[in-house]
Amino acid sequence: MKETVSVLGAGTMGRGIAQVAATAQHPVVLYDPYPAALEKALLEIGADLKKSAEKGRLAEPPEAVLARIQPSQTLEEAAQAAWVIEAVPEKLELKQELLARLGRLNPKAILATNTSTLSVSAIAAAVEAPERVLGLHFFNPAQRMRLVEVVGGLRTEAALITQALALMQSWGKEPVQVSDTPGFLVNRVARPFYGEALRLHGEGIAKEHIDWIMRGLGFPMGPFELMDLIGLDVNYAASTSVYQAFYGEPRYRPHPLQQQRVVAGLLGRKTGQGWYTYPPGPPPRPAPPATPHTNPPLPLILGPNPLAQALRARFPHAETPERARFVLDCRVVLERKEDTPPGLPVVSLVWGHSASRLAAPLRGQPVAGFSLVPPIGPSSIVELYPPLSGPNPALELARAYFEAHGHTTLVLPDQPGGVGFRILALLINEAVSALAEGVASPADLDRAMRLGTGYPLGPLEWAEQLWLKPVLRALEGLQAELGEDRYRPHPLLRRMVAAGLEAFRNLSPKGEDGQISTKEAR
C-alpha cells in the first residue's frame, strides 16, 4: 500500500491535489475545518473523476478513487501521513501555525506548502524541524496541469527534494526544482507578460491589438483576456507581492490601470467585467487580408539576423537596391540603420527604437517602423508604426507587401520595441535574471514556462532563436529611448554576448562557489 498523503484545505487547490494523489493510488486524508468545504470538495472531485472516466482517462471506476479520500475535520487524523501538503489560505501565520502543529503531532511527516507568494523558508522557520519543510507549488487546476515547482527552502534537507521530485513523477507530473525566491519561477518570469502589456496599453495601444498580436505569436491567450480569466485581483496581488519582495525593483512595478479596475470591482470573468465584458468577452481576431495585392512591391532586405533570414526565405525580395521599391531594414542598432541606401522609402525594425527616432537621421527618405517576431507563421501579425510626422509612402509599401503575403497588419501609435517584441524581450530578460540567480536550470526554466503558462517556446530558447546580440542591443535601445531602468539588460546577457556565447544550455545554474559558471561555447 502506498504512503498516506494528507491535504490541508479543501478549496480550489486542495481538492485538485487530493484528487491527483488518490488517482495515484495513495490513501488521502482531506482536512478542512469547515464541513461545507469538505462536502463541496468531494462532490467536485467526484464530478471531475466521472468526466475523466468518460474520456477514458481513468484506469479504475471513479468511486474507487473517491473511496481512497477520507474527509476529516481533525488535525490529529491528518497528521498520520507520510506527506502533508497544505493548501490553506495564503496567510503566513496560518500556514506557520498549521505546519508547526503538524510537525509536533508527527515529527516524521514531510511537510509541504502549496504557497504561491510566501517564502517557504519563512513558513519553515516556525516548524521545529525546518529541514522537513519544502514547497510543492501546483498550478490550477492541479488535476490537469502537469507542472509542479518543487521548492527547497534555505534549510530544507537535500534528500527531501529528491524524494519530492520522485513522488511528483510517480503522480504523472513534470516537476521542476526551483529555489525559494519571490514568485518562484513561473510567477516571476511571467510578470512582464502582464506588466509590459499594461505599459503598452498605458502608452496608447488598444488592449484588443495587444491580445491579437500575442496570440499571433503563439501564446494561448493575450495578456488582457488572460488577466480576465485569472482575476484582476489575483493577478494584481501577485504583481504587488513580487514587487514588494524585491524591494521596489522597477521591473516589477504594478500598473495603476490594473489597480483602478481592481478597486472598481472589475475583476474579470468572475464579475462579468474586467478588461472585457462577459458575455461576449474579447472581440474575435481580425481576419487575414481578403484580397491580396497582386504584384507586391519588392524590398531590399537588410540585416544578418534570424528575422532578416526568415523574411528572405519566406517572401520574394530584391537582391540589389536598383531592383527594390523600398528597404526593409531588420537591423537593430541605430548607428547601423543610418547606413541605408539613399533614395528609397525605408521600413525599419523598431525593436530598439521608435519609428520617429529611426526617421530622424534619414531626412528626405520616407520612413515607417515595423515589427514581426520569428518564428513567423501564417497567424503572425505585422505591426506597422508611422512616425509622429504621420503616414507616408513607406508605411503603404510595407502594408501592401505584408498583406500580399497573407499577413494581417495593424497600424499602431509609434513607440519603441513594438508590442510583441517588447513583451517578449522583457520575458527573456526576466528569464535571464532568474537563471543568473540560480532559480532553475536553463532547460527546467524553458520547460516550466511552456508547461505552466502554455508559452509556445521557453523564453531562453526563444532568445537563442532570435540571437542574443540583437535582443541585447534592442534592450539597450529601449532603455536609452524610454529612459527607464526596467529595460536595462541583465548583466548575464551582456556577459554572454561579450563572450560570444549563443546558448544558455552551456551555462550551469550554479558552480561550487554559488556563481553561474560557463561551459564551453557552442
- C-alpha span between 353 and 474 (Å, rounded): 8
13 binds ligand NAD (CB under 6 A): yes
Give the largest Cα separation in the chain, rounded. Answer: 84
Q: Which is nearer to ligand NAD, 14 or 458 (CB)?
A: 14
List the interface residues with ligand NAD, window 126-165 (CB under 6 A).
138, 140
Task: Say if CB 462 and CB 423 are below 8 A apart.
Answer: no
Strand order in the sheet with 409-411: 299-302, 326-329, 346-349, 367-371, 382-385, 409-411
11 binds ligand NAD (CB under 6 A): yes
Select the residue interacting with ligand NAD from 5, 8, 21, 110 (CB under 6 A). Answer: 8
Q: Where does this chain touch ligand NAD (CB under 6 A) — which range of 90-98, 411-419, 454-462, 510-518? A: 90-98
Note if the bond before 220 is cis, omega within 30 degrees.
Answer: no
75 versus 503: smaller Cβ distance to ligand NAD: 75
Which amino acid would we find at residue 100?
Answer: A
Residue 337 CB, shortest distance to ligand NAD, in Å, is 45
- The site map against ligand NAD for 193-232 (x = CB under 6 A) is ----------------------------------------
- Per CB under 6 A, the segment of 51-59, 108-116, 163-171, 492-500 that binds ligand NAD is 108-116
Stretches 88-96, 241-249, 287-295, 364-372: which one binds ligand NAD (CB under 6 A)? 88-96
Tell me the residue nearest to ligand NAD as measured from the CB: 11
Contact call for residue 71 and ligand NAD (CB under 6 A): no
Taking phi over 0 as left and psi of -120 to 50 as alpha, with beta for the rest, 107 belongs to alpha
Q: Report the nearest approach of ligand NAD to the CB of residue 92 (Å).
A: 10
Strands (E) across 66-138 are located at 69-72, 83-86, 110-113, 133-138
Q: Is 483 exposed, middle or buried (0-12, 13-18, 19+ CB in 10 A)?
A: exposed
| Contact flag: residue 110 with ligand NAD (CB under 6 A) | no
If DSSP codes are grouped into helix, strand and coil, which group holds residue 299?
strand
Q: Is there binding between residue 352 and ligand NAD (CB under 6 A)?
A: no
Which of 12, 143, 309, 392: binder of ligand NAD (CB under 6 A)?
12
Q: Is 10 in the site for ligand NAD (CB under 6 A)?
A: yes
Contact segment (CB under 6 A) with ligand NAD among 11-19, 292-300, 307-315, 326-334 equals: 11-19
Amino acid at 44: E
To which H or E segment does residue 148 belong? strand 147-152
State which of positions 37-66 bind ligand NAD (CB under 6 A): 37
User: What are 457's three cell numbers?
Assistant: 517556446
514 Rama class: left (phi>0) / alpha (psi -120 to 50) / beta: left
Check residue 492 for interaction with ligand NAD (CB under 6 A): no
Catalytic residue positions, numbered: 116, 137, 149, 187
Is 6 or 340 the residue whose CB approaches ligand NAD more closely?
6
CB count, 10 Å around CB of 144? 11
Query: In angstroms, how far is CA 134 from the centroid of its own chain?
Result: 24
Among 44, 48, 77, 90, binds ligand NAD (CB under 6 A): 90
Count of residues interacting with ligand NAD (CB under 6 A)? 22
Among 34, 316, 338, 342, binds ligand NAD (CB under 6 A): 34
Characterize the bridge pairing of strands 517-518 and 507-508. antiparallel
Which of 425, 433, 495 shows the shortest CA–CA distance to 466? 425
In the complex with ligand NAD, the residue whose CB is nearer, 140 or 260, is 140
If binding is defined by CB under 6 A, does position 87 make contact with ligand NAD?
yes
Residue 164: enclosing H or E segment and its boundaries? helix 158-170
DSSP SS3 for 452: helix
For 384, phi and psi rounded to 5 degrees? Answer: -120, 135
Among the listed ranges 27-35, 345-353, 392-400, 484-492, the one in contact with ligand NAD (CB under 6 A) is 27-35
- Given candidates 19, 52, 72, 114, which one binds ligand NAD under the rule CB under 6 A? 114
Q: Is 89 exposed, middle or buried (0-12, 13-18, 19+ CB in 10 A)?
A: exposed
In angstroms, rounded to a whole number, what is the distance separating the alpha carbons of residues 125 and 103? 12
Please tell me whether residue 14 binds ligand NAD under the rule CB under 6 A: yes
Contact region for ligand NAD (CB under 6 A) — 31-39, 343-351, 415-423, 454-462? 31-39
Q: Specify the residue, 84 or 327, whose C-beta has the smaller distance to ligand NAD.
A: 84
Contact positions toward ligand NAD, by CB under 6 A? 8-14, 32-34, 37, 87-90, 94, 98, 114-116, 138, 140
